[in-house]
Amino acid sequence: MPVVAKVSDVPSLGKKLVVVEGQEVLLVNLKGTIYAVENECPHQGAPLAAALVKDTYLSCPRHGYRFELKDGSCKEFPEFKLRTWPVRVENGDIIVDLA
């Protein structure tokens, strides 16, 4: 599984967009826990690199749908689910399982 960035590259409550094996992966640091999610909003494709990080979710900049970071679910519109990938942190390296 690839190392995609360092934890220190992703500020707390911030994001970093990386491309792994041709796939855009948005890394989000929620108070020290790193999540890896798809950059494209499942609603109408807005880039979530511009999303707000709040509480436990990302808020899409286009229409404000809120996607839980832990599983990509959207409470208001459950038919839209953001893709997420498992993350591991080892010695400050972020490893994402894209399988």
* Structure tokens that stand for 46 in this block: 């807005």
Which parts of this chain interact with ligand FES (CB under 6 A)? Answer: 41, 43-44, 46, 60, 62-63, 65
Please say which residue, 5 or 51, places its beta carbon nearer to ligand FES.
51
**Closest distance between ligand FES and the C-beta of residue 89, in Å?**
28
- Pick 82 or 94: Cβ nearer ligand FES: 82
The residue behind tokens 């229409």 is: 63
- Shortest distance, position 75 Cβ to ligand FES, whole Å: 13
Token duo for residue 19? 């491309």
| Closer by beta carbon to ligand FES, 64 or else 92 | 64
Cα 60 from chain centroid? 12
Strands (E), 15-92: 15-20, 23-30, 33-38, 52-54, 57-59, 66-68, 84-85, 87-90
Minimum CB distance to ligand FES, residue 23 (Å)? 19
